[in-house]
Amino acid sequence: MYEVYTDGAVSGNGKEGAPGGWAYVILKDGRLVSQNSGAEIGTTNQRMELTAALKACEEVEALDGFATVKLYSDSAYFIRCFKENWWKNWRANGWKNSKKEPVANQDLWEKLIFFFMKAPGYDFIKVKGHAGNQYNEMVDRLAVAAKESVMNG
């Protein structure tokens, strides 16, 4: 059983050139087995949250095929998309949301959907951000550090 914690961080969310970072940690049977982070310029918080989840899932697949995974995120948007199957409506509606607008980050959503369709052993769990959860706090620090590293060149 794997547990994965993911997070994203952005300064100036949605503004042109906004720096952002993403991070994840992977635990197996309660022991930390991997952590990673990265950054981008000109991004949004949602994009960083999705990137963290995708990168973590790709690593779990590389480590152990399609294992059983509990994926924790403080992004209600990410968790609800899969818990409430928003993605099914988006696809059926030509990648338009309930406001008939294009779904943001379609490229990442499509990769995540494809991944979770072939790896059905995932459970999505919402955690409260900045509430003392050791691993949620850890990925937050890693994502912020990645963001700051790209800000400072």
Out of 3, 20, 40, 49, the active site residue is 49
107 flagged as catalytic: no
Closest listed residue to residue 145, CA positions, set 5, 7, 3: 7
3 flagged as catalytic: no
49 flagged as catalytic: yes
Per DSSP, the three-state class of 43 is coil
Task: Give CA angle at 24 (23, 25), nearest 5°.
Answer: 140
Residues 31 and 125: their CA atoms lie apart, in Å, by 19
| Amino acid (1-letter code) at residue 19 | P
65 flagged as catalytic: no
Out of 3, 8, 21, 59, the active site residue is 8
Give the strand pairing for 69-73 and 31-41. Answer: unpaired
Q: How many CB atoms lie within 10 A of CB 101?
A: 9
Out of 16, 107, 130, 153, the active site residue is 130
42 flagged as catalytic: no
Out of 7, 20, 38, 40, the active site residue is 7
Catalytic residue numbers read 7-8, 49, 74, 130, 140
